[in-house]
């Protein structure tokens, strides 16, 4: 498969009692389909994967595949800092019909580059589901070196890399070593990264504005960076406000402000500080004026 465009890093909605709200999940997926996204990413960081148990994790992926029903791609979050767990989750994703899997850099145990290479290779070779490497050193403590990505790109089951290290230069560095697909991992860097060769974005903001994120990446893909930049500037403050606290706290707060979900988290995540929530709402009123009722 070819990966490009907008993939939405889905939130996982909870009921007031703290259970996964599968009915609401289906509603959110229909919003994404209507917005024209190329794919959705259940149970990634934005989906609060660290606080879902294994049964919930698997069911969210299964329900997502079932609801989407081939109308867009499903990139299942199945990474772990234990290779056996990553393999088990990825096998399940393959069995229920996911198109590919997102493999985060193993966190906390701080593997070497050789360890990363062996870990990702094991998942790719064992599960026979295309994998997307996920470089996010700010959360995991360890980057995937560009040279390691180049080594892994030789594996036919390594589809792409989600680059969330905050550096546009990384895109050029990676593409100077291999021809792997690079997907931006930060909404505010989508246009800059696509200008130097990234193929799209795995987006948090598209939980709320999927249509305009799709337009922005389509403009970039066509080389119309003037139009893409106009959308980037329109939403830049919103992109940044969604990370005023740890993701996915602000995006869930934003969706709750719009009446789309209950503002429920699982510890250690909790509701935003009032000052930050007020700032987020102010940015939303500025950037989303005319699109939503507040």
Q: Is 97:74 a contact under the CB 8 Å cutoff?
A: yes
pLDDT digits (tens, 9 = 90+) for 21-61: 999 999 999 999 999 999 999 999 999 999 999 999 999 99
Q: What is the largest CA-CA distance in the chain?
A: 51
List, in order of start, the domains of the chain with CATH numbers: 5-222 (3.20.20.70)
3-state SS track over 83-151: HHHHHHHHHHHHHHCCCEEEEECCCCCCCCHHHHHHHHHHHHHHHCCCEEEEECHHHHCCCCCHHHHHH
The pLDDT, as a whole number, for residue 293 is 79
The pLDDT, as a whole number, for residue 290 is 85
Euclidean distance between CA atoms 121 and 263, whole angstroms: 38
- H-run or E-run covering 161: strand 158-163
Active-site position among 7, 22, 134, 235: 134
**DSSP β-bridge partners for residue 200:** 5, 183
The pLDDT, as a whole number, for residue 292 is 87
pLDDT digits (tens, 9 = 90+) for 210-257: 999 999 999 999 999 999 999 999 999 999 999 999 999 999 999 999
Structure tokens, 11: 């939130």
Torsion of CA 216, 220, 226, 229, to 10 degrees: 50
Half-sphere exposure of 95 (CA within 13 A, CB side): 9
pLDDT digits (tens, 9 = 90+) for 173-207: 999 999 999 999 999 999 999 999 999 999 999 99
Whether 7 is catalytic is no
pLDDT digits (tens, 9 = 90+) for 67-109: 999 999 999 999 999 999 999 999 999 999 999 999 999 999 9
Whether 134 is catalytic is yes
The pLDDT, as a whole number, for residue 49 is 95
pLDDT digits (tens, 9 = 90+) for 136-151: 999 999 999 999 999 9
The pLDDT, as a whole number, for residue 101 is 98
Active-site position among 162, 214, 215, 252: 162
Report the chain's mean pLDDT, rounded to a whole number: 97
Residues making up the chain, counted from first to last: 294
Task: State the pLDDT confidence band at 119, using cuts at 50, 70 and 90.
Answer: very high
């Amino acid at each position: 498969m070819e990966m490009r465009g907008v993939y939405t890093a889905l939130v996982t909605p909870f009921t007031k009692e703290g259970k996964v709200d599968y009915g609401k999940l289906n509603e959110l997926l229909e919003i994404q389909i209507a917005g024209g996204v190329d794919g959705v990413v259940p149970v990634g960081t934005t989906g609060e994967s660290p606080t879902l148990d294994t049964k919930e994790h698997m069911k969210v992926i299964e329900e997502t595949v079932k609801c989407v029903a081939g109308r867009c791609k499903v990139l299942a979050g199945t990474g772990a800092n234990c290779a056996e767990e990553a393999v088990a989750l990825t096998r399940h994703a393959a069995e229920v019909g996911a198109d590919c899997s997102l493999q985060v850099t193993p966190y906390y145990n701080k593997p070497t580059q050789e360890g990363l290479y062996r870990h990702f290779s094991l998942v790719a070779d064992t599960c026979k589901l295309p994998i997307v490497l996920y470089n996010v050193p700010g959360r995991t403590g360890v980057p995937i070196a560009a040279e390691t990505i180049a080594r892994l790109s030789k594996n036919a089951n390594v589809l792409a890399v989600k680059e969330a290290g905050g550096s546009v230069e990384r895109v050029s560095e990676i593409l100077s070593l291999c021809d792997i697909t690079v997907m931006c991992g930060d909404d505010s860097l989508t246009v800059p990264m696509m200008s130097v060769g990234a193929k799209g974005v795995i987006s948090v903001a598209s939980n709320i504005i999927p249509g305009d994120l799709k337009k922005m990446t389509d403009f970039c893909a066509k080389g119309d960076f003037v139009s893409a930049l106009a959308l980037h500037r329109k939403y830049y403050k919103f992109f940044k406000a969604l990370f005023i606290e740890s993701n996915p706290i602000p995006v869930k707060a934003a969706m709750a402000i719009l009446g789309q979900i209950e503002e429920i988290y699982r510890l250690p995540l909790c509701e935003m500080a009032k000052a930050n929530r007020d700032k987020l709402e102010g940015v939303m009123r500025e950037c989303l004026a005319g699109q939503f009722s507040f």
